[in-house]
Amino acid sequence: MSVVDWVIVILYFLLSFGIAAYYSKRAGRDTQEFFLSGRSLPWWLAGTSMVATTFAADTPLAVTELVANGGIAGNWLWWNFLFGSMLTCFFFARLWRRAGVLTDVAFIELRYSGRPASVLRGFRALYLGLFINTVIMGWVNVAMATILIGMFDISQGQVRYYVFAAMVFAAIYSALSGLRGIAVTDLMQFAIAMAGTLTLAIVVINLPEIGGITGLKNQLPASVFQFTPVIDSGIESVAYGGILALSVSAFIAYIFVQWWAAWYPGAEPGGGGYVAQRMMSAKDEKHSLMAMLWFTIAHYCLRPWPWILVGLASLVLYPELDAADKKLGYVYAMRDFLPVGLKGLLVASFFAAYMSTISTQLNWGTSYVVHDCYRRFIRKEASESHYVLVSRVVTLIVMVASILVTLVIQTISGAWQFLIESGAGLGLVLILRFYWWRINAWSEISATVTPFLVYAYIKLKTTVVFPDTLFYIVGVTTVVWVLVTFLTEPVAEERLIQFYRRVHPGGIGWRKVEKMVPDVPGDSGFAWLFVDWVCGVLLVYGVLFGIGKVIFGELLLGFSLLLLALIAGGFIYWDLSRRGWQEVTR
């Protein structure tokens, strides 16, 4: 890198720290401000912050690997999560904002009663805030190290110092600025990251070795450019002939089961984690829904195509890379073909993607440890300034823990699969706890524990492989939690009434409680919200595939898909506007 490139990177770090310093005083007011920005974020800032968080350093590399092994259709391994994201948008976003809790773990004791609820809250606070959180950050650290090694050809031992220095920086500005500063920094980081990846895609596609889109299509098999996977009951491999190929059972598992049944960080059924945090930090219910809608559109429509194009080009530029190293094609393209200035922009964009994820994970994980463990069970009565100070200290402690996890991680390529399988079956409970009064703490506890037991049995005693394992884990888990629900005492009537008065979810599942509080009208219009959900799915897939078809020269089909997306978006706007916001939510 030249001096100009390094100046760009240094300016990025200075700007990030300046934002943190600016918001540090505001963040110190209380924990509501530190973790939820005083519940005052506008939809565009909350939604963009979510997108920036999901845009981790490893994401372009992961997409490059998916494209290299399964063509464009390989992205269906994450595109299928759209159904759940859009469901959260229309059916859960407003409920999270209405609940008024500081974290989604605190929701447990708002919804359930008794000792099981407090035990579940404490367990999930530490399990998610420390274990899952540090593993995710370790994963991101390893990805950032891979990028720096490929970019600068430095040793594994040396690269740790660079990554850990960046993490310390992210921890400091996260501890200083609270969620408001993190969200504003995310906005800046997302703009830099998108500018960098888009620039790389334009430069690489127009290389003489590629020859534009036409040259790219001439040098790669047609199957690579197919948007949908091959579905065949006789297929055993997930990659066949340059295209993602799924058995019928795998297709059903991915498209019809995984998105609602399995818990996965960032894609929790009904919302959760940092996604719920951003929805709860929005100005009001309308901003909460709009934040989730904007996040979903940007997440699936704006981000992927620059990564996909570079991934396709890397197949031509670096054909010698084996399957395990295909993802490095993205990094090598940065290293080998970017001119002075642009190389610095790309490096800054990767640091931006990295630190937006790390800062959110630190703030989100700390909220669990402090609010749902320390404040709930250790020191219940203290000043807000005390809890803010503890939050800042815990942020640094969580950072150190994630560094230690990173040191022992060699590869976690199967971590996402393990998380999905070990949370399969829990998703339905997380959805129904909002819409059925009979769900209790024991329902969620049994749905949390059972998947681990079934997963262990399948791995030790059978030859069933992912994603077919989902059918067994989800099936057994569902039977168990339904039986447990009816064999245990329901939530205390007083707690159900308290929850209904605050959240008033409505629907047939709350009729029993609704009769107890006739003065509180529940939500209605669920059929229209279902149509909005369908239209939301059509909107996103229409834009996603429409842009892709236009890029590859299929203009008629591309613009037809964009027109379909426009019609679907217009219906959503018309439906929400015609009834007025209060009629939509009550």
- 264 with 426: CB under 8 angstroms? no
**DSSP type of residue 38:** G
**With helix as H, strand as E and coil as C, how does 104-154 read?**
CCCHHHHHCCHHHHHHHHHHHHHHHHHHHHHHHHHHHHHHHHHHHHHHHCC
Q: Read off the tokens for 32.
A: 């509501």
Q: How far apart are CA 210 and CA 203, in angstroms?
A: 10
Query: Alpha helix (H) ranges present in 462-551?
Result: 469-487, 493-503, 511-514, 526-551
For each of the chain's 586 residues, which pLDDT tens digit applies?
A: 778 888 888 888 888 888 888 888 888 888 888 889 889 999 999 999 999 888 877 788 889 988 988 899 999 988 999 999 999 999 999 999 999 999 999 999 999 999 999 999 999 999 988 888 888 888 788 888 888 888 787 777 788 788 888 888 888 888 888 888 889 988 988 888 888 889 999 999 999 999 999 999 999 998 899 999 888 766 554 444 478 888 888 889 988 998 999 888 778 888 888 899 999 999 999 999 999 999 999 999 989 999 999 999 999 999 888 877 888 899 899 888 888 878 888 888 888 888 888 888 898 899 999 999 999 999 998 999 999 999 999 999 998 888 888 877 655 555 677 888 888 999 999 999 999 999 999 999 999 999 999 999 999 999 998 889 999 999 999 999 999 999 999 999 999 999 999 999 989 999 999 999 988 888 888 999 999 999 999 999 999 999 999 999 999 999 999 999 999 999 999 998 887 655 444 4
The whole-model pTM stands at 0.91
Domain that holds residue 228: 3-251+265-413
Q: Which residues does residue 246 pair with via DSSP β-bridges, in sequence order?
A: 231
Question: Helices 384-408 and 156-205 meet at what angle, rounded to 10?
Answer: 90
Give a yes or no: residue 73 inside a domain: yes
**Side-chain-facing half-sphere of 17: CA atoms under 13 Å:** 11
Q: Read off the tokens for 316.
A: 């031509």
Give a yes or no: residue 430 inside a domain: no
Q: Read off the tokens for 508.
A: 């047939």
Residue 235 pLDDT: 55
Give a yes or no: residue 53 inside a domain: yes
Name the amino acid, one letter, at 565.
Answer: A
Residue 415 pLDDT: 65
Residue 584 pLDDT: 46
Give a yes or no: residue 462 inside a domain: no
- 150 with 336: CB under 8 angstroms? no
How many domains does the structure of the chain reveal? 1
CA Rg, the chain, in Å? 24
Give a yes or no: residue 387 inside a domain: yes
Which 3 state secondary structure label does DSSP give 465?
coil
- 557 with 315: CB under 8 angstroms? no
Query: Alpha helix (H) ranges present in 153-284?
Result: 156-205, 212-219, 248-252, 259-261, 273-280
Q: How far apart are CA 340 and CA 1, in angstroms?
A: 7
Give a yes or no: residue 424 inside a domain: no
Question: Helices 273-280 and 342-369 meet at what angle, rounded to 10?
Answer: 80
Q: How far apart are CA 364 and CA 569, in angstroms?
A: 32
Q: What is the CATH number of the domain that holds 341?
A: 1.20.1730.10
Give a yes or no: residue 56 inside a domain: yes
Q: Read off the tokens for 27.
A: 């963040």
Q: Could you give the dihedral angle defined by the CA atoms of residues 5, 7, 9 and 11, in that order, rounded to the nearest 10 degrees?
A: -150
Q: Which residues does residue 424 pair with via DSSP β-bridges, in sequence order?
A: 262
Give a yes or no: residue 31 inside a domain: yes
